[in-house]
Amino acid sequence: MGTLKTLSMEWTGDSLKLIDQRKLPYVEEYVVCSTHEEVASAIKSMVIRGAPAIGAAAAFGYVLGAMRYTGGGLYEHMKKVKETLANTRPTAVNLFWALERMEKKFLSLDVNMDGLVEELEAEALEIAEEDIEKNKRIGELGSQLLPNNAVVITHCNAGALATVDYGTALGVIRYMHENGLGIKVYVDETRPYLQGARLTAWELVKLGIDVTLISDNMAGWVMKTKKIDAVIVGADRIAANGDVANKIGTYSLAVLAKKHGIPFYVAAPTSTVDLSTFTGAEIPIEERSHHEVTHCHTVKVAPDGVKVFNPAFDVTDNELVDAIITEKGIVRQPYYKNLRALLEG
Ligand code: MRU
């Protein structure tokens, strides 16, 4: 049995242990998942979140589904395991990408063979380990777009917590820091769920990176009055034409960046690119509980009975995106042609 241990997750060989991101930064607690249903519930309730992280968690959930199989039709059982894991969060394509890969592996195996579970486990570990390598490469490539001592704005959390490790947008920031290139970060608090304030600020403070927290409505003023070299964010799904779904508020940042002549970069592994979705209009946008908006984390800030709209993601039009940084290279317009060439080349 293989194992893996990072900040966001630990695969013990028999269970998946997740740092409870709902409780950070106040307490560091862990949720142990021993069944695929528990992994699905952890994804849905945002114990684990961030596109690459939920993809890898689902892959381990798939392994747990195979491990706990007790008889009956194995194909039917694994189909249900996949459905349960897929039916959690609709926007991040990495979830479906990882489950497709696990199913493909399963279907390539002889169901009567010894070591079937071990083969699936090896595939899940490969997905997880590849993610770390991809993020390091994204970090290195993305750093080439930034000047030394860069000042950037980021949104949500695209760090080690949102991936298996290292991060995508924060991977670029981290690479700059680790290689002595100098980096200063403004992070939006990212209402309503506060991934910026709670998670990104926590990660960057822990790494000793210069980080300043702002509320979301301050970003325009910061762009106007401070020297900002770039906006850099992660992604949940990138359509074939380069439209980018990411945490709600990303679109506003991209519009503001355009107005101020600031480059807007998206850092994401190729597993976030969905060539079967032609434009952003086709990307399903998750709507979450009204409670997230009527409350600021746990404190109620709105009157009873008020109507609420809570889309968890938005779509940034490709013409606002200056470059997409993937582990395979940096892509620019025309995205439809260049993303296809990158993925299929
Ligand atoms: O709702 P979340 O916290 O799962 O949303 C996460 C994001 O929007 C991230 O920016 C995205 O998944 C990229 S993570 C590397």
Q: How far is the CA of 91 from the centre of ligand 1 (A)?
A: 10
Q: Which atom of ligand 1 is nearest to the CA of 94?
A: 12
Question: Is a pLDDT exceeding 90 seen at residue 1?
Answer: no
Q: pLDDT at residue 7 above 90?
A: yes
The mean per-residue pLDDT over the stretch 226-242 comes to: 98
- Whether 123 shows a pLDDT value over 90: the answer reads yes
Please list, in sequence order, all residues whose beta carbon lies within 8 angstroms of the beta carbon of residue 108, skipping any fewer than 6 positions away.
none
* Stated length of the chain: 345
Phi then psi for residue 44, to 5 deg, are -65, -40
Rounded to the nearest angstrom, the distance between the alpha carbon of 163 and the centre of ligand 1 is: 9
Nearest CA-CA partner of 231 in 269, 187, 272, 271: 187
d(CA 255, CA 241): 18
Provide the sign of the torsion angle of the four alpha carbons 320, 325, 330, 335, taken in this order.
negative
- pLDDT level of residue 113 (50, 70, 90 thresholds): confident
User: How sure is the predictor about 231, in pLDDT bands with cuts at 50, 70 and 90?
Assistant: very high
Q: Which domains does the chain have, with CATH numbers?
A: 4-134 (1.20.120.420), 136-344 (3.40.50.10470)
- What confidence score (pLDDT) does residue 72 get? 87
pLDDT of residue 203: 98
Mean pLDDT of the chain: 97
Mutate to test the pocket of ligand 1, among 134, 247, 251, 289 (most ligand atoms within 8 A of CB): 247
Residue 315 has pLDDT above 90, yes or no: yes
Report CA(268)–ligand 1 centroid distance (Å): 11
Ligand 1 atom with least separation from CA of 312? 1
Ligand 1: lining residues by beta carbon, under 6 Å = 49-52, 92, 156, 158, 162-163, 168, 195, 234-236, 246-247, 312
Mean pLDDT value across residues 144-159: 98
The pLDDT of residue 40 is 98
* pLDDT in the model for residue 240: 98
Among 280, 274, 267, 186, residue whose Cα is nearest residue 224:
186
pLDDT computed for residue 251 by the predictor:
98
**Band (229; pLDDT cuts 50, 70, 90):** very high
Catalytic residue IDs: 236
What confidence tier does 298 reach under pLDDT thresholds 50, 70, 90?
A: confident
111 CA distance to ligand 1 middle (Å): 36
Which residue shows structure tokens 């990495």?
94
CA distance 17 to 19: 7
166-204 pLDDT, tens per residue?
999 999 999 999 999 999 999 999 999 999 999 999 999
The minimum-distance atom of ligand 1 relative to the CA of 163 is 15
Confidence (pLDDT) at 34: 98
Angstrom distance (rounded) from CA 247 to CA 169: 13
The minimum-distance atom of ligand 1 relative to the CA of 159 is 15
Range 16-40 average pLDDT = 97
Residue located nearest, by CA, to atom 10 of ligand 1: 234
166 Rama sector, left if φ>0, alpha if ψ -120 to 50, beta otherwise = left
Decide which of 71 and 305 is more confident.
305
114 pLDDT higher than 90: no
- Ligand 1 centroid to 43 CA: how many Å? 12
